[in-house]
Structure 1
Amino acid sequence: MTMRLALLLAPPRLVARGEGVGFRWFALALVIALGGSTLVAADQSKKELRAKLADLQKRFEDERQKTVMERDATFRELAELRVDAAHQLLLQALANPKEDYVAKEQILRHLGENATVLAAATVLTQGFDQVGDRSYHVIATAFRGMKDQEAVDWLFEKGWKNLPALGAKAQAAFMQVFTSYRDARAVEAAQKLLGNRKLKTATQRDLVGILTDAKDATSAKKVRKLYKWGDPDLMVAVLRYAQRLQLTDFSDLITGGLEDDYWQVRATACDIIGASLDASLLDRLLPRIEDKIVAVQVAAIGAARAIGGEAVIEPFYKALDKTEGRAKDDLIDALIFLTGRDLGTESVSWETWWKANRGKVAIGGISREEYERLISEGATGASGKYYGLRILSKNVTFVIDVSGSMEEPHKVKDKGGDRKGGDDGDSGHTGVNPEGDEKGEKKTKWIQKPKIELAKRELRGVLSTLAKGVHFNIIQFSGMPRAWKTELIGMDEEVLESALGYVDSLAPGGTTNVYDSLVLAMNDPKVDTVYFLSDGAPTAGTYQDHATILQKVTEGNSLRKVKIHTIGFKLDPQAKELMRKLAEQNQGTFVDI
Structure 2
Amino acid sequence: MNARIAPLVLISCAAYGLTVQPARAEPVLAFRQNALGRDPNERIKMIRAAREALSPEAVRLLVVLLGDTHPRVRQEAIQALGGVVEESAVAYVAKALEKSACEEVRAGAAEALGRIDSTASRTALEAALGDRSPKVRACALDALGRMADPSTAALVAARLKDPDPVVRAAAVEALASVDPARAARELPACLADRDVPVRMAAVEGLSRVAPAEAASTIKRALADPAWQVRATAIDRAETIRKPELIPLLIDRIEKEDGRLRGDLLRALRSLTRKEIGLDAEGWRIWWGHHGKDFACPETAKDGPQAPAPLTIATFCSIPLYSRRVAFVLDLSGSMRDTSNGGTEGPRKVDVVKAELHKAIRSFTPETRFNVILLGSDAEGRFDAKKRVWMPRLTPATPAAREHAIQFSAAQIARGYTNLYDAVLVAFQDPDVDTVILLSDGGATKGTFVARGEILDNLLRENRWRKIAIHTVASGARRGADQGLLTELAAQTGGVFVKK
CA distance in 1 between partners of 2:470 and 2:62 (Å): 44
1:264 aligns with 2:174: no
Give the partner amino acid of 2:316.
Answer: Y
Map of 1:499-510 to 2, 5 A cutoff? 499-510=404-415
Aligned counterparts, 1:113-124, within 5 A:
none
Higher mean C-alpha displacement, 510-519 vs 108-117: 108-117
* Alpha-carbon distance in structure 2 between the residues aligned to 1:138 and 1:587: 26
Q: TM-score under structure 1 normalisation? A: 0.66
- Give the Cα separation in 1 of the matches to 2:427 and 2:320: 17
Contact kept, 8 Å, 1:396 with 1:527, in 2: the verdict is yes
> Deviation at 1:108?
12
- Tell me the SS of whatever aligns to 2:404: helix
Shift of residue 509 of structure 1?
1.9
Deviations 1:224-256 (A, max 9, x none): 222222432222222222333453122122222
Give the CA deviation at 1:382. 4.1
- Taking the TM superposition and a 5 Å limit, the aligned residue runs for 1:411-560 are 411=340, 448-479=345-376, 480-481=381-382, 482-560=387-465
Q: 1:136 to 1:378 in 2, by over 3 A?
A: closer
Taking a change above 3 Å as real, the CA distance of residues 590 and 234 of structure 1, as seen in their structure-2 partners, is same
Q: Which residue of 2 aligns with 1:222?
A: 155
| 2:321 corresponds to | 392
Question: Which secondary structure does the structure 2 equivalent of 1:351 belong to?
Answer: helix
Question: Quick check: 451-460 or 401-410, which moved more?
Answer: 401-410
Q: How much does 1:134 deviate?
A: 11
Structure 2 runs not aligned, ≥5 long:
11-19
Mapping for residues 234-245 of structure 1, pairs under 5 Å: 234-245=167-178
- 1:208 to 1:145, Cα distance in 2 relative to 1, 3 A: closer
Letter in 2 for 1:545: A
Q: Which amino acid aligns with 1:330?
A: D
Aligned residues of 2:269 and 2:301 also touching (Cα < 8 A): no
Which residue of structure 1 lines up, in the alignment, with residue 336 of structure 2?
407
Answer yes or no: is 1:330 the counterpart of 2:263. yes
2:497 aligned partner = 591
Query: Does 1:579 pair with 2:476?
Result: no
Relative to the length of structure 2, the TM-score reads 0.78
Q: Give the Cα separation in 2 of the matches to 1:166 and 1:360.
A: 61
Equivalent in the alignment of 2:231: 298
Separation in structure 1 between the aligned mates of residue 76 and residue 479 of structure 2, nearest angstrom: 35
Alignment partner of 1:552: what SS?
helix
> Percent same amino acid at aligned positions?
21
Q: Which residue of 2 aligns with 1:203?
A: 136
Higher relative contact order (CA 8 A, sep 6+): 2
Partner residue in 1 for 2:14: none
Q: 1:456 to 1:247 in 2, by over 3 A?
A: same
**Alignment-derived partner of residue 194 in structure 1:** 126
Report the counterpart of residue 179 of structure 1 in structure 2: 111
CA distance, structure 2, for counterparts of residue 173 and residue 315 of structure 1: 46
1:319 aligns with 2:252: yes
Q: Which residue of 1 aligns with 2:15?
A: none
State the distance in 2 between where 1:569 and 1:512 align: 13
Alignment match, 1:255 = 188
Instruction: Assess if the C-alpha contact under 8 Å between 1:212 and 1:245 holds in 2.
Output: yes
> Which amino acid counterpart does residue 410 of structure 2 have in structure 1?
S
Q: Secondary structure at the match of 2:345?
A: strand
Alpha-carbon shift at residue 190 of structure 1 (Å): 4.1
Structure 1 stretch displaced more, 349-358 or 395-404? 349-358
**How has the CA–CA distance of structure 1 residues 364 and 241 changed in structure 2, closer, same or farther, with 3 Å as cutoff?**
same
Distance in 2 between residues matched to 1:294 and 1:247, nearest whole Å: 27
- 8 Å CA contact 2:115–2:143 kept in 1: the answer is no
Provide, for residues 345-380 of structure 1, a one-character-per-residue CA deviation record: whole Å limited to 9, x for no partner.
34233233333443475433654523xx12xx3232
Name the CA shift for 1:522/1:513 in 2 (closer, same or farther; >3 Å).
same
For 1:394, give the aligned amino acid. R
In the superposition, relative to structure 1, how do residues 251 and 110 fare at CA in structure 2: closer, same or farther (>3 Å)? same
- In structure 2, distance between residues paired with 1:307 and 1:270: 12
2-structure distance, mates of 1:117, 1:348: 68
Structure 1 residues 369 and 121: alpha-carbon distance in aligned structure 2, compared to 1, 3 A threshold: closer
Distance 2:490 2:43 in 1: 42
One-letter amino acid of the counterpart of residue 337, structure 2: E
The superposition leaves residues 13-62 of structure 1 with CA deviations (integer Å, 9 ceiling, x where unpaired) of xxxxxxxxxxxxxxxxxxxxxxxxxxxxxxxxxxxxxxxxxxxxxxx9xx
Q: Residues of 1 paired with 2:462 and 2:282: CA distance?
A: 33
Letter in 2 for 1:513: N
- Whether the aligned pair in 1 keeps the contact of 2:153 and 2:178 (CA below 8 Å) is no
* Structure 1 residue matching 2:482: 3-state secondary structure: helix
Inter-partner Cα distance in structure 1 for 2:42 and 2:138: 30
Partner of 2:17: none
Question: What one-letter code is carried by the residue in structure 2 that aligns with 1:588?
Answer: G
2:95 alignment counterpart = 161
Residue 200 of structure 2 contacts residue 232 of structure 2 at CA under 8 Å; is this kept in 1? Answer: yes
Contact 2:353 2:408 (C-alpha < 8 Å) held by counterparts: yes
Deviation at 1:266, TM superposition (A): 0.9
One-letter amino acid of the structure 1 residue matched with residue 107 of structure 2: M
Aligned counterpart, 2:13: none
* Partners of 2:80 and 2:180 in 1: CA distance: 36
What are the Cα deviations for residues 279-324 of structure 1, in whole angstroms up to 9, with x where unaligned?
Answer: 5331232121121111101001111222233322222122122111
CA contact (8 A) 2:153 2:179 kept: no
Q: Please, what is the CA RMSD of the aligned residues? A: 4.1
Match of 2:166 among 220, 226, 233: 233
- Partner SS state of residue 264, structure 2: helix
Cα deviation, residue 118, structure 1: 8.2
Q: CA shift at 1:411, angstroms?
A: 4.9
Q: 1 CA distance for matches of 2:43 and 2:307?
A: 58
- Cα offset for 1:589? 0.8
Q: 1:466 offset after TM fit, Å?
A: 0.9
Q: Please state how far the C-alpha of 1:454 moved relative to its aligned partner.
A: 0.6
Q: Which residue of 2 aligns with 1:287?
A: 220
Shift of the 209–145 alpha-carbon distance from structure 1 to 2, 3 Å rule, reads: closer
Q: Which one-letter code corresponds to 2:187 in the other structure? A: I
Gaps of 5+ in 1: 1-59, 61-67, 91-103, 413-446
Give SS of 2:435's match.
strand
Distance 1:218 1:516, change over 3 A: same
SS at match of 2:302: helix
Amino acid at match of 1:179: E
Post-superposition offset of 1:487: 1.5
